[in-house]
Structure 1
Amino acid sequence: MGQWLVIDLEATTEEGGWPIEHMEIIEIGASLVGSSGHEIDHFQRFVRPLRRPNLTRFCRELTHISQADVDSAQVLNAVWLQFERWIEPHRPRLHGWCSWGDYDRKQLLQDWQRNGLASHLQTLPHVNLKQRFAKERHLARPVGLNAALQLAGIGFSGQQHRALADARNTARLLPLVMGK
């Protein structure tokens, strides 16, 4: 199976949700895992949103990310350079990256384009683990991360809707889905 990178993003939002083009990344969490699903390394940073710098109350309550967390953070261009430096030594063994659902991939593509950023992730395959899990488990439709963990007999560890915790919990399902 090699090494996989599991990424989860938190973004600006409001109750009822915003269209993705109105959302901005406010937290990046990534867990680099080996074939057994064990974590080799991780990355977590807050990101200061520029277009809508003030988080909605709904967003703060959902993510447990405070206004101070994002106010003191760097903008995406700076944080993404840190991410690329962090992942660089792992690239030779990296088979691809994945996320729970397709939202994170779409948000990254949009924000890379919007900010004129390049990423090595663009050269690697992306796996939608939410779809893969549903197919593997013969589910009528894909389920949320928490429901998938419950189906696998695994309890959620950490704070839900925080990027690194969500990435780590997603990574716990990786061996069940990608091991074959």
Structure 2
Amino acid sequence: MAKLLDKIVVVDIEATCWEGKNPEGMDNDIIEIGVCLLDINTGEITNNRGIFVKPERSVISSFCTQLTTITSEMIEKEGVTFQEALRILKKEYDTQSRAWASYGAYDLKQFQRQCTDLGKGYPFSPSHINVKTLFALKQKLPHELGMDGSLQELGIPLEGTHHRGKDDANNIAKILREILKN
């Protein structure tokens, strides 16, 4: 499979979470995959969407809803299975042929863990870009910043709702676009 170098797939996930430790018998499940494409030639951000995913090993806590604004009702109504979400990524975003980016390593590790635990094929190419580390290196910062801190450093307003995959993917793409400009 030829590597596509025209666009970078930018991903931000939200997963089930709790205040403190996970409750007995519950594992973090991806509940939203925010994704968009960053055209490396034009800087255009396209195909931005949030894919709601039905959790298979946990439930959405009130803490999780407070953090993400995602409710069990939203997932029930609009969610797809994890398997279907992986199919969408591969088919509609060519994730196995393109470099992909996330802010930090959490998304990468969560996808690896959940795919392994559920016996699903990993949907991404090995070409992962950690925007959090890359930004800190590019700006010669003494430490990494959170996504909103990086946006502030660039003078770009945070758009949408922080901790919603669709909005965060779009904001991360803007940071990456700035890094690639220079």
- Whether these two folds match at TM > 0.5 is yes
CA–CA separation in structure 2 for the residues paired with 1:87 and 1:24: 21
Shift of 1:91: 6.6
For structure 1, the residue ranges without an aligned partner over 5 or more in a row are none
Give the paired residue count.
174
- Structure 1 counterpart of 2:130, which letter? N
Moved over 3 A (4+): none
Q: Secondary structure at the match of 2:140?
A: coil
What is the RMSD of the two structures over their aligned residues, measured on CA atoms?
A: 2.1
- 1:114: Cα distance to partner? 1.6
Equivalent residue number for residue 126 of structure 1: 128
TM-score (norm 2): 0.87
TM, length-normalised to structure 1? 0.87
Question: Are positions 1:138 and 2:143 aligned together?
Answer: no
Distance, in Å, in 2 between the alignment partners of 1:171 and 1:37 is 9
Matches within 5 A, 1:23-172: 23-35=28-40, 36-53=42-59, 55-72=60-77, 73-88=79-94, 94=98, 96-121=99-124, 123-172=125-174
- The SS at the match of 2:129 is strand
Q: Secondary structure at the match of 1:2?
A: strand
Distance in 2 (alpha carbons) for counterparts of 1:46 and 1:74: 6
Given that residues 89 and 123 in structure 2 are in contact (C-alpha distance below 8 angstroms), is that contact kept between their aligned partners in structure 1?
Answer: no
Measure the CA separation in 1 of the matches of 2:143 and 2:165.
Answer: 24
Q: Does 1:8 align with 2:22?
A: no
**Percentage identity across paired residues of the two chains:** 29
Letter in 2 for 1:34: D
Over residues 138-176 of structure 1, what are the superposed CA-to-partner deviations in whole Å (9 max), with x where a residue is unaligned?
A: 111101000100000000011110001000000001122
Whether the aligned pair in 1 keeps the contact of 2:111 and 2:122 (CA below 8 Å) is no
Per the alignment, do residues 17 and 8 of structure 1 end up closer, same or farther by CA in structure 2, a change over 3 Å counting?
farther
Q: Give the drift of 1:17.
A: 6.3
